[in-house]
Amino acid sequence: MQVSMTVNGEEVTREIEGRLLLVHFLRDVLGLTGTHWGCDTSNCGTCVVWVDEKPVKSCTMLAAMAGGHEVRTVEGLAQNGELDPVQRGFMECHGLQCGFCTPGMMMTARALLNENPDPTPDEIREAISGQICRCTGYATIVRSVRWAAAYEADRAEANAAPPEAATTGGAP
């Protein structure tokens, strides 16, 4: 069957088997290997991508079901050559160790910050509760998301500040 969707802003159309999972379509057909495949049972959350801006475990969705929709993977987080604040937060606060769960965690964290720009640590833990990290103990992941939230708040505040009043001839 033929399936068409938008992936990271690009329209793609491919001939696929109807039983192909979205995770395998992204990785094997499109070569977007940032989305990891861990369990096929929706338990680990390493395969989280967005479908129409909502986090979805791509191992539980057929590629055909994503037809006509917008899919965003971890490769689509960075914009205009600049890392997303969530990606920067994971770097700054060591939110990853082995990195296997990281793409799914980042996609979930970005979705959380889009809905709630200042989540508490408990709200972050709740948001990522459907994902398993076997290395970090989650503390650095929570710190990474908090860092991203603070970074975005600082940028918003800096952009909202009124420009310095222009002066002429040294007068205030």
Q: What is the pLDDT along the chain (172 residues), one digit of tens a residue?
A: 999 999 999 999 999 999 999 999 999 999 999 999 988 678 898 999 999 999 999 999 999 999 999 999 999 999 999 999 999 999 999 998 888 999 999 999 999 999 999 999 999 999 999 999 888 889 999 999 999 999 999 998 888 867 654 444 444 4
The DSSP call for residue 41 is S
Which residue do the tokens 């379509």 mark? 25
**pLDDT given at position 167:** 46
Rounded to a whole number of angstroms, the distance between the first and last alpha carbons of the chain is 70
Q: Do 61 and 18 meet the contact criterion of CB atoms below 8 Å apart?
A: no
User: How would CATH label the architecture of 85-160?
Assistant: Orthogonal Bundle (1.10)
Q: How many C-beta atoms lie closer than 10 Å to residue 39's C-beta?
A: 13
The boundaries of every CATH 1.10.150.120 domain in the chain are: 85-160
The boundaries of every CATH 3.10.20.30 domain in the chain are: 2-76
Residue in 93, 99, 108 with CA at minimum distance from that of residue 150: 93
**Whole-model pTM over 0.85:** yes
Query: Is domain 2-76 in CATH 3.10.20.30, yes or no?
Result: yes
